[in-house]
Structures are given as structure tokens and as C-alpha cells.
Chains A and B, each alone.
Chain A
Amino acid sequence: MGEEDTRRQSLNVARMKLLGAEVVAVTSGSKTLKDAINEAMRDWVTNVHDTHYMLGTVAGPHPFPTMVRDFHKVIGEESREQMLEITGRLPDAVLACVGGGSNAIGIFNAFIPDANVRLIGLEAGGDGVETGRHAATITGGTPGVLHGTRSYVLQDKNGQTVESHSISAGLDYPGVGPEHAYLHDVGRAEYRAINDDAAMNAFALLSKTEGIIPAIETAHALAGALIIGNELGPKANLLINLSGRGDKDVQTAAQYFGIPL
């Protein structure tokens, strides 16, 4: 894990350690997910005889994007069934946050053949896509190759990866799963950027109104739902992937809202 993320996700690090894992902090480059992936790949090629490589998102070389999608697709299959059962129809839109895009592809997958269901991915807009300090790869990136996959990448004119920025560690990645790039290019899914502030507002709203503290990643999808809900009106059914709990983010959120710890 990038050193910066071991700080932002210290509770997750403690959990992993309690479960017996060894967690190595990566200090190269931007010290976030991108560099952790670089180091994991370096370790893997060195120890390939007795080591498996696993990636938490739908990026990286084939077949990892497909494998990770298939591990995540149950959420889409079950929620599609339940939407039909409970509301009697398919949702008007399915929303999920997108960093690498694993939870999003997991919930989108079952709905891809349902042409009338809008699939909407919410990327991390950071300080705003126009500031250059963001992680909205599809919204603000260009086609390129990173970590063995061809997709959208945040890069400069020489093809060097540009560092991403987001309040959410899980979305702070300058690449995106290739299937999302495809769904975007063929027009099946749409992608929008949600700035840090909008995500944190949605984070506070769900916490206060539902008593559920969402992950900051997930708060981007919630912020998107507020916008799409306004666009589609009160009769629309939105399916939002509440992909993570915010326990791990309480420290970051407290800091953001100025709550003394």
C-alpha cells in the first residue's frame, strides 16, 4: 500500500495486520495506489515461481480485469433480481463510484443488456477537473497504456503518468479499468466527475439522514445520485451501489469537517 494511503487508511491497515497480513508501505513515486501496483508487479516478476498476483480493481493486464469483474458481478445480479421483485421494474439508472472501477463494473455488468437502464459512473473530481488536481480518468484523461492495460490514463504529452488527486484513497488512481473505457466509448455507460466537496456533502447527508456512514469513495456515487435524481424527477428509481463503509474514513472526515479528535 502506498505510504500516503497507509496513513489515510490506517484503520484498514490495522485490520489487515490483525488478520495476520504483512503490510508493506511503498515510498516510491506518489506513494499511492499507482506506485503500490508498480511495486507489487516488481515483486511478482521476481517471485513468480511461488507468488500469485492479485489486484483489487478491474485494471492491470489481462485476465485480471475480467477476473475481478466476475468476482464482483454478483452484486449486480442480485440487485437486478431484487429491483424487479421490490419495484416491479428495472431501475432507471444504476450509479457507482469509479476509481479503477471494480464495484461499478460489478453492479453494471448484469444491466449491460438492459438498454433502457442508464449506467452512470462517478469519478473523483478532486479539486475540480479544470484544476488538473483530480482522479477523473475518463472525464479528464486520454487513451494510453498503464500497468499492462490500454485504457484512459492521466498523462502528459510525453506519455508520463500524471499524479492523481482525490480525498478518497480508493479512487486516487490515474488509470481506469479497460471495460469502463469501452463502455464509455460505445456510449453504453456515462461518466461524470464529483469534486471532493460534493462527495463530502453527500457523505454527511447519508450519515445524518440514514445513519449510515458511507466510505468516501461511495459518497461520490451518492453525490451523483443527488444530481441524477434532480434530473430524472421523483418517479425515477435509482440503484446506488453502496460499495463501502466509512468507518475507515472517520479520521479523514473529522479532519474535513473540523471535528476535533
Chain B
Amino acid sequence: MTSLDSVLEKCRAEHRAALIAYIPAGFPSRQGCLKVIQTLADAGVDAIEIGFPYSDPVMDGPVIQEAADISLKGGTGATEVFEALKAASETGTASVVMTYWNPIERYGVEKFAASIADNGGAGVITPDLTIEESETWLAATKANSINPIYVVAPSTKDARLTRVTSMTGGFVYAASSMGVTGTRESVSIDAKDLVSRIRKVSDLPVCVGLGVSTREQAKSLAAYADGVIVGSAFIKLLLNAKDEQAGLLAVSQLAKELALGVREGR
């Protein structure tokens, strides 16, 4: 059982959803990222996703693209990703890495899974890895006792949901709507339908991401999801902040609001 499994189990016992925050390693800077992680943990976030910034983030909207650009220009690589992961796990929150596949392959599949475990990570979210190409990855995650987390979308047909969730560990990442990451005015009704379709084929916790930025949205998702994932909303605050201190304060305030939201849904 990973620390992520335990956190999600604890939230389930408390009849609430988990709050999961995403931050790219090396953003807003190498040191700044470590401060954001501590701020998120202090504000009551249950789990942290460390993003591995990538040159071609096709699942991401303009906000995360900009953060990835800034991070990559600052020289972020695997070292900084694992450093941030270690910092996140040391705060006591469950921590995972979210990354496109190519950086894993380049680093070495076995070695990557081992480094996740060595730095206290509970799992890895791989948005562009298909289950058909997952054999070595699944073996590596199993050998290192970490969760392989896959993303499903409203377009995922039931038969495929069964197959994808059968290979998933930790939680099923449900994309709330068709599209890229980024804040949205409202979270699509597709999310509710998708979650109920996943429930029919899997007992795993289901966490919903894409588009969440407010306490109200967190609350409405918490009514039926096991976790709420927020990324772009935090990053936007950091991009717009006049200085680092202001950014951290804004992140803290939003995280606290969202932490209330995930406790209000049921």
C-alpha cells in the first residue's frame, strides 16, 4: 500500500474528497517551487503532483505551457523533479510525479520508477502512455511498489475503461471534459457521467482534474469524486503575483478555500 493509497483511504473514511495540487518542478524557480510545496502542504492539501516540465505538453493549456517554459529555461531536469518530489513527500503529504512519457524513457524506465520510490514518491501519472505500450513500465512500477496512474476521458468507451482501470493503481485520473488543462467557468457535466461509468468497472478511488479553480467547483465535484485535482489555478496565481511572497500567500489562500470545498460536498 502506498502513501497515496493510505491518504485516499483516510479521506474516504472521513466522507470527503481529497485535495490534490499540481505544481511543475522548477516553477516559479527551483527554490520557489520548494516553497510552494511547503505552502500547499501547510494549507491542507492531501496530495501533491510534481510536474516534469516538457517541451511539447500536448495535454496542457497555455497556463501550464507557460510555467513549463519558465521552468525549462531555468534548467529544470530530472534532478530538480526528484528534488521537488522528495520535498513534497517530506511534508507528509502523498506525492506523485506527472510526466509525459519521453522524459521517463530518456532517463531509463526501471531507473525512473526506482528514483520515484527512493525519493518518497507514491506513483506516477502518465497522460500520454497507452496501456498497449505499458508492459515494461508496469513491471517497473510493480517492482518499486509505486502506483501507475492513467488518465481517462469522457471519450473513453466502457470496454476501454475496464482495461485501463484494471492496470491502474492509486486512483483513476478522470479528465472532467474533452480538452487541455486550464481553469474553466464550470466543470462539465461529462465529469459526473464519467465518474459513474468508472464506478461500474472499478473499485479504485476516482479523482477528477481539468478546469477546477474555485471552492464551489471543488464542493460540487466532492459530491461524487474521491479527489479533486487543481493545477492551473495555482499556477495562474503565481504567474500573476507581483512577487514571490504575494504568490505564496495567494496559493495558500486558494488551497485553504479548496480544502474547505472538498469537505463540503457530501
Contact = CB atoms under 8 A, between A and B. Distances in A.
Interface of A: 28-29, 34, 38, 41-42, 45-49, 144-148, 150, 153, 155, 157-161
Nearest to B175: A45
Contacts of A46: 178-180
Interface string B122-148: 000000100001000000000000000
A157 B107 CA distance: 8
B55 A48 contact: no
A160 B65 contact: no
Given A46-B178, A49-B178, A144-B106, A157 B58 contact: no
Interface stretch (B97-105, B200-208, B237-245, B250-258): B97-105
Given A41-B58, A161-B56, A144 B102 contact: yes
A161 B155 CA distance: 29
B178 A160 contact: no
A28 B106 contact: no
A55 to B, nearest CB: 13
* Contact residues on B (Cβ < 8 Å of other chain), bracket: 20 to 34
> Majority SS of interface residues in chain A?
mixed
A150 B100 CA distance: 13
B78 interface: yes
Given A144-B102, A146-B56, A160 B179 contact: no
Contacts of B103: 158-160
Contacts of B133: 150
B102 A38 contact: no
B179 A38 contact: no
A16 to B, nearest CB: 24
29 contacts: A28-B62, A29-B55, A38-B58, A41-B58, A42-B61, A42-B179, A42-B180, A45-B59, A46-B179, A48-B155, A48-B178, A49-B178, A144-B102, A145-B102, A146-B56, A147-B56, A147-B58, A148-B128, A153-B102, A155-B102, A157-B106, A158-B77, A158-B106, A159-B102, A159-B104, A159-B105, A159-B106, A159-B107, A161-B102
Interface in B40-72: 54-59, 61-62, 65, 72
Q: Which 10 A-B pairs have the closest CB atoms?
A: A159-B106, A46-B179, A159-B103, A159-B102, A158-B77, A160-B55, A161-B55, A41-B58, A145-B102, A42-B180
A150 to B, nearest CB: 8
Given A28-B65, A42-B61, A34 B56 contact: yes
A49 B62 CA distance: 22
B56 A38 contact: yes
A29 B155 CA distance: 28
A146 B102 contact: yes
A46 B65 CA distance: 16
Given A29-B56, A159-B54, 18 more contacts: A34-B56, A38-B57, A42-B58, A45-B59, A45-B180, A46-B178, A48-B178, A49-B178, A144-B102, A145-B101, A148-B128, A150-B133, A157-B106, A159-B105, A160-B55, A160-B103, A161-B55, A161-B56
